Amino acid sequence: MALVTVTDSARDYLAQLIEKQDVEGMGVRIFVTQPGTRNAETCLAYCPPNEVVPTDEQVDLEKFTLYLDHNSVPFLEEAYVDYSKDQMGGQLTIKAPNAKVPQVADDAPLPDRVNYVLASEINPNLAAHGGDVSLVEIVEESVAVLRFGGGCQGCSAVSLTLKQGVEKTLKERVPEISAVRDVTDHSNTENAYYQ
């Protein structure tokens, strides 16, 4: 079963919302749209009894049942749902670090482990500047060949990003990687974050 943490405050908040629906046996379904892609989104939806899918995993949260969409389960590993009150009322937060790429085992092939770190840790940070990085290949001596895109292509800070951000993180998370190499054509600065 996927490990999904729902904090007490989130349970209470969701239970209040469910109660307002006035439907006996109403639950909540958690699922990932476009799982395993950079466009993956983790969602919560009401789940009345007539919409329960037999293949869903069920988690009894005492006040209601949480249904985990069967196809989303590998992408929901380590998902976290929280609710915090604020001046505007409150905020429900869903974090699913494996939604874009399912977690891979320590003994998975090297390209899979590199892609996992790129998707789960590096690209979310680069996305703040409209950028991304992808693995082209792994060559001799475990050098990861990467291609930057979006706001990173042609960006004047890309060499700093490559060495102090991407390479450092990849080498920490995937110790077999000895270095990284950028094969991006940075002469095109049309979408660069820093020019």
Instruction: Tell which CATH classification among 3.30.1330.10, 3.40.50.2000, 1.10.3720.10, 3.30.300.130 matches the domain 110-182.
Output: 3.30.300.130
**Whole-model pTM over 0.75:** no
Which residues are known binding-site members for [4Fe-4S] cluster? Answer: 152, 155
* Residue 191: pLDDT over 70: no
* Residue 186: pLDDT over 60: no
* Region(s) of the chain under CATH 3.30.300.130: 110-182
Nearest-angstrom CA–CA distance, 187 and 11 = 51
134-138, 141-145, 160-164, 169-173: segment of lowest average pLDDT: 160-164
* Region(s) of the chain under CATH 2.60.300.12: 4-95
Considering only the C-alpha atoms of the chain, give the largest distance between any 2 of them, rounded to a whole number of Å. Answer: 62
Predicted local confidence at residue 40, as pLDDT: 87
Which CATH architecture group holds 4-95? Sandwich (2.60)
97: confidence class by pLDDT, cuts 50, 70, 90? confident
Predicted local confidence at residue 17, as pLDDT: 95
For the ranges 8-12, 130-134, 191-195, the maximum mean pLDDT occurs at: 8-12
Predicted local confidence at residue 192, as pLDDT: 45
List pLDDT tens digits, range 22-56. 999 999 999 999 887 778 899 999 999 999 999 99
List pLDDT tens digits, range 56-94. 999 999 999 999 999 899 889 899 999 998 888 889 999
193: confidence class by pLDDT, cuts 50, 70, 90? very low
Which residues are known binding-site members? Answer: 152, 155
* Residue 103: pLDDT over 80: no
For the ranges 161-165, 169-173, 183-187, the maximum mean pLDDT occurs at: 169-173
178: confidence class by pLDDT, cuts 50, 70, 90? very high
Q: Are the CB atoms for 42 and 3 separated by under 8 Å?
A: no
Mean of per-residue pLDDT scores for the chain: 85
